[in-house]
């Protein structure tokens, strides 16, 4: 049994907490899974797992080996995908998932161009603001806007995602704007509903991070509602640049306290570590990276728009 296959089995067991679940993910029988682990442990001369009839846990050596094995698998998948994409045309059914606001603005408008380039790929897109389990839902690729903590997924950064504090010119004309983070809570605020992590606003003041818990007189569970309320003079709000960039460029919104704001939750493409990166997934990843570029087109400067991005009218 080869080393890489053994690593894949080991990583899948660690991610799923079960030999049986790992077998289902990799389409292997329980006996074959056990043989892979035994062969890997024999090769390394160390025990990687504690196994009982009810549970599986990693030994100290197993924990140390896991991160290295995951990186090696990722490198191997990247190398194989590069060769495969050069020899095999992307085809088949591609299932992707992404959060709503980003999907509407920056994925769905580009899918016709992707289909022009790769007509043999069919795309099914699951739009959800919930974290969708990729393995359970047989999803090839997910888009996550978060600080990545799920080690069972391989993550590829697509773009930075700075957030911006802003208000409409009309609001600023009536109420002025804060000149320091300490003045923010004196203003009308538009926020997400209570309990949202997006209501924690971070600012750099005198070399230290200052956290402001935003609680608005207007509260919503969707960024587009916050955006519309802010455009109509409802108060100060903070949203991702990919939502407000074109409004800042057009002057319908004005950014505030840019020199203090410390907000960046990157945009990632993620896929299960136990899966090979197929040509269709590789093609879609490369397509998104090309479209977004090193400086995303939604940046307020407005001079980085790709040809495909110009089709976006939302």
For residue 287, pLDDT over 90 is answered with yes
Q: How confident is the model at residue 154 (pLDDT cuts 50, 70, 90)?
A: confident
How confident is the model at residue 224, as a pLDDT?
A: 92
For residue 85, pLDDT over 70 is answered with no
Q: How confident is the model at residue 195 (pLDDT cuts 50, 70, 90)?
A: confident
Statement to judge: residues 109 and 170 lie in one domain: no
Statement to judge: residues 11 and 78 lie in one domain: yes
Domain annotation covers residue 260 = no
- Give me the domain span that covers residue 242: 163-255
Q: What is the CATH number of the domain that holds 27?
A: 1.10.10.10
Cα atoms in the 13 Å half-sphere on the side-chain side of 62: 20
Q: Which uninterrupted H or E stretch holds 93?
A: strand 92-98
Statement to judge: residues 46 and 185 lie in one domain: no
Tell me the three state secondary structure of residue 90.
coil
Q: How confident is the model at residue 146 (pLDDT cuts 50, 70, 90)?
A: confident
Statement to judge: residues 167 and 247 lie in one domain: yes
Q: What is the CATH number of the domain that holds 220?
A: 3.40.190.10
Average pLDDT over residues 75-81: 80
Cα atoms in the 13 Å half-sphere on the side-chain side of 69: 26
Q: How many domains does the chain have?
A: 3
Residue pair 239/161 in contact (Cβ under 8 Å)? The answer is: no
How confident is the model at residue 94, as a pLDDT?
A: 96
Round to whole Å and give the CA distance between 186 and 199. 16
pLDDT digits (tens, 9 = 90+) for 22-37: 888 888 998 999 999 9
Round to whole Å and give the CA distance between 305 and 297. 4
Task: Transcribe 178-200 into DSSP letters.
Answer: -SSGGGGGGS-BEEEPTT-GGGE
Question: How high is the mean pLDDT of the chain?
Answer: 88
Statement to judge: residues 155 and 174 lie in one domain: no
CB burial of residue 304 (10 Å; 0-12, 13-18, 19+): middle
Residue in the structure block whose two tokens are 């992404």: 98
Statement to judge: residues 152 and 16 lie in one domain: no
Is the entire prediction scored with pTM above 0.75? no
Tell me which residue of 275, 279, 276, 277 sits closest to 88, measured CA to CA: 279
């Amino acid at each position: 049994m080869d080393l890489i296959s053994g690593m894949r089995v080991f990583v899948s067991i660690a991610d799923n907490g079960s030999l049986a679940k790992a077998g289902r993910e990799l389409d292997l029988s329980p006996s074959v899974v056990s043989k892979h682990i035994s062969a890997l442990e024999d090769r390394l001369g160390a025990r990687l797992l504690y196994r009982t009839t009810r549970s599986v846990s990693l030994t100290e050596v197993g924990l140390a080996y896991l991160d290295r094995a995951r990186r090696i698998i990722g490198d191997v998948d990247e190398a194989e995908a590069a060769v495969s994409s050069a020899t095999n045309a992307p085809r088949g059914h591609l299932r992707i998932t992404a959060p709503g606001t980003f999907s509407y603005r920056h994925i769905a408008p580009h899918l016709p161009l992707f289909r022009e380039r790769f007509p043999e790929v069919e795309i099914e897109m699951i739009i959800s603001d919930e974290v969708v389990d990729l393995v359970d839902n047989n999803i090839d690729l997910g888009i996550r806007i978060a600080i990545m903590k799920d080690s069972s997924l391989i993550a590829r950064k697509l773009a930075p995602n700075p957030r911006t504090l802003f208000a409409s010119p009309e609001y600023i004309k009536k109420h002025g704007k804060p000149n320091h983070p300490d003045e923010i809570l004196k203003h009308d605020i538009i926020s997400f509903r209570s309990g949202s992590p997006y209501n924690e606003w971070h600012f750099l003041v005198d070399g230290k991070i200052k956290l402001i818990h935003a609680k608005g007189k207007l509260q919503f569970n969707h960024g587009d509602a916050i955006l519309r309320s802010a455009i109509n003079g409802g108060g100060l709000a903070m949203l991702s640049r990919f939502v407000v960039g074109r409004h800042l460029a057009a002057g319908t919104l004005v950014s505030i306290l840019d020199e203090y704001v410390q907000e960046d939750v990157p945009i990632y493409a993620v896929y299960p570590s136990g899966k090979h990166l197929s040509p269709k997934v590789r093609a879609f990843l490369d397509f998104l990276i090309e479209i977004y570029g090193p400086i995303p087109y939604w940046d307020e400067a407005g001079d980085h728009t790709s040809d495909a991005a110009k089709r976006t009218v939302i």
